[in-house]
Chains A and B, each alone.
Chain A
Amino acid sequence: MARNLLVMLGLLAGCYGFNFVMAEFIEVVYVDYINLCGLAIILAVGLNVINGLAGQFSLGHAGFMSVGAFAGAYASIMLTYGVIESGPLSFVSMGSFLLCLALSGLSAAAVGALVGAPTLRLKGDYLAIATLGFAEITRIVLTAQDAIGGPTGLKRIPKMPLLPGSEKWDGGTSTFWIYAFVCLVILLSVNLQRSTFGRALICVRENELAAETMGVRASRMKIMAFVYGAFFAGIAGCLYAHYQHSVRPDDFTTVRSIEVVVMLVLGGLGSLTGAVVGAVIVTLLPQFLRPLEESLGLSGLSMVVYAALLLLMMLFRPQGIFGQRELSLKLLRRLVPGGGKESRP
């Protein structure tokens, strides 16, 4: 545990350095891409615990994200300005921001438990369609709330808090905050995946009845997976809201949920490395296709390429890029010729 804390501190320092490099040397457009990738990674790695490890096909991740986004953004606006009205942007204080993040994560996790509990009895595509339904209901309910702006949502969401020495960084501190949570979610998920809990989750995925007769409480495990995934979706939502400075309920449609699932499928469902790689590909692909789309005057092209990629993947490599493997030192050593010493009994 002490080692984990040290690792996390080291990673935080790394994120600070990363943000510094971004602010000083990298063009704003690319910084934006990198930040969007970070948000996608948090979503995908969280969802991987639900869809990949526990094998519960959830198609409603955008719903959890929206809950976190609105909870965090509303709290942040209230703590910073006290009222919802137009005006210049300012920074949210460090304490308030951490409070907002906690609120986002916890409210999304609560919704996760709420969604997880009644849908436990459903399997496969029925579960997928039910979680999709929950996400849509969430969006419609949010749209109907005038207190958070109705369909136009919240605007003038404060900037993420300053860090020591960050005053002159034009792009702000978003990269630090986003990547701090990227590191956190990856670290915790690696631990979870390798733990006895992670194994119990996989057992539920592989054969629920057998898991139950071995004493694994499948329902509790599934709810836990939903709570975990939803918590980080909520965090991602809060970061997203502060990064964009505005949120609308329509930012979180079914297409968004599908996007996160596609990241997992592309990378290899159940593989954390795959989730990260998938998140990066799915985020960057449309960004690079957009110039082409505009020059040809063909709107929709990037989505078509994306869909075609998905179809080809399913036809020729349905297990995704990584399958269920992880990028680890062991795998690297095996890839280097002569580097791996395979011992076979």
Chain B
Amino acid sequence: MDFTQLLQNMTNGVAKGSCYALVAVGYTMVYGVLQLINFAHSDVYMLGAYFAYWPAKWMGYLPDEKGGRAQDVPLALVGLFVVGSMAACAAVGALIERAAYRPLRHSGRLAPLITAIGVSLLLEYGGQMVFGTEPRLFPTFVEAQSYDVAGVKFANTSIIIVVTAAVLMGALTLFVNHTRQGRALRAVSHSFNNARLMGINVNATITMTFMLGSSLAAVGGILVAMDQPTITPLMGLRMGLKAFVAAVLGGIGSIPGAALGGLLLGVSESVVAYWSTTYSEAVAFLILIGVLLVRPAGILGSSAREKV
């Protein structure tokens, strides 16, 4: 067994897992407050990548048709593109919640679930209509480099991914635990009605939840796009399923759980990929079913019992 290769796979897994975690947070927060699998979340992630792609393209940071190599995007502009994409995705997330989910909030659980699937299809294929079906090369936000440590390669993009994810997740945790709005979020996910009785603006809090999750998904989309480096309108499909699995694995509703679940899933996939890349695609689903059967509340979640 080639341990260097295995170690290499595991380090790649950590980077992949960090992206899962960023997207998983959105699933877990929305599920926490609405008990809804927001299928459209992974398409907001896709939009995040496109929202950063378009301004870069307009400003000429992409290879032109003649195949000439485009220059790298300056760091200040990268920051601007990322923040712009986060803001745009936050707006999209809020819009989805307002237009599609809020009208159905009191009509059982099936209708919102179907609606979520509908919104997801709408964004995926609407994306195909607007952006075209072919994969697009993502602009060079960072010049690719890699550092060799004892035979294991560390790509600078991977390091950026892990650091960015860690910083954002940390900031989110601080926000949720130590601010007024964060407290409102926790109250709403604990009980809708009680929160309302305590004078918390439930609608505003839910909108905020969608905006937070969507902006983190946007960053996830950009990071993955930098790493790949192509993007397509259907790139959210696989990411969505896996990020959701990460959320379930960590314990749905729990933000540290999403981080933990994302990392565990990323690393397990990469380790299995050492033997078979085909079966590494199945890892997420095996984990999902395993978790649901053995401990549906996930690693860090807590379960509630139906009152008889």
Using a CB–CB distance below 8 Å, which chain A residues touch chain B? 57, 118-119, 121-122, 124-126, 128-130, 132-134, 136-137, 140-141, 143-144, 209, 254, 258, 261-262, 265, 269, 298-301, 303-304, 306-308, 310-311, 314-315, 318
Contacts and interface: CB of A to CB of B under 8 A. Distances in A.
A300 B276 CA distance: 33
Contacts, number: 125
Contacts of B124: 300, 303
B159 to A, nearest CB: 31
A142 B103 CA distance: 41
Nearest to A315: B103
A333 to B, nearest CB: 31
Contacts of B288: 129-130, 133
A128 to B, nearest CB: 7
B119 to A, nearest CB: 7
B50 to A, nearest CB: 14
Contacts of A307: 118-119, 121-122, 125-126
A130 B129 contact: no
Given A122-B296, A124-B109, A269-B110, A144 B276 contact: yes
B100 A311 contact: yes
Contact of B111 (A124, A301, A314): A314
Contacts of A318: 104, 107, 111
Given A129-B288, A300-B133, A314 B114 contact: yes
Interface in B29-49: 35-37
B230 interface: no
B293 interface: yes
Contacts of A130: 288-289, 292
25 contacts: A122-B296, A125-B36, A125-B37, A128-B113, A129-B248, A133-B284, A133-B285, A134-B285, A136-B241, A136-B282, A137-B282, A143-B278, A209-B306, A209-B308, A298-B129, A299-B129, A299-B133, A300-B128, A300-B233, A303-B125, A306-B121, A307-B125, A310-B114, A311-B118, A315-B103
A263 to B, nearest CB: 12
B289 A118 contact: yes
A141 B233 CA distance: 26
B125 A304 contact: yes
B308 A126 contact: no
Given A298-B129, A303-B121, A314-B118, 15 more contacts: A118-B293, A119-B289, A121-B293, A122-B296, A125-B35, A133-B245, A133-B286, A136-B241, A140-B278, A143-B278, A144-B276, A144-B279, A262-B117, A300-B126, A310-B115
Nearest to B237: A254
Contacts of A124: 109-110, 113
Contacts of B279: 140, 144
A129 B118 contact: no
Interface residues of B, number: 47
Nearest to B284: A133
A299 B131 CA distance: 10
Contacts of B244: 129
A265 B125 contact: no
Interface in B166-200: none
Contact of A265 (B103, B114, B129, B132): B114
Contacts of A306: 121
A192 B119 CA distance: 34
B104 A315 contact: yes
B261 to A, nearest CB: 14
Contact of B115 (A122, A137, A254, A314): A314
Looking at chain B's contact residues, the main secondary structure is: helix
A311 B119 contact: yes
A265 B213 CA distance: 28
Contacts of A126: 292, 296
Interface in B257-308: 276, 278-279, 281-282, 284-286, 288-289, 292-293, 296, 306, 308
Contact of A310 (B117, B132, B133): B117
A57 B118 contact: no
Contacts of B35: 125
Contact of A132 (B103, B114, B115, B241): B241
Given A128-B113, A132-B241, A314-B115, A119 B292 contact: yes
Which 3 pairs between the two chains have the least Cβ-Cβ distance?
A: A300-B128, A303-B125, A133-B285
Interface string B91-116: 00000000010011001011101110
A122 B293 CA distance: 8
Contacts of B104: 314-315, 318
B281 A140 contact: yes
A40 to B, nearest CB: 17
Nearest to A118: B293
Contact of A300 (B115, B117, B125, B248): B125
A12 to B, nearest CB: 36
A262 B113 CA distance: 11
Given A129-B244, A308-B122, A300 B129 contact: yes
Contacts of B118: 307-308, 310-311, 314
B110 A57 contact: yes
A140 B289 CA distance: 15
Given A122-B296, A125-B113, A128-B113, A311 B129 contact: no
A129 to B, nearest CB: 7
B121 A310 contact: yes
A315 B103 CA distance: 7
Contacts of B103: 315
A209 B124 CA distance: 39
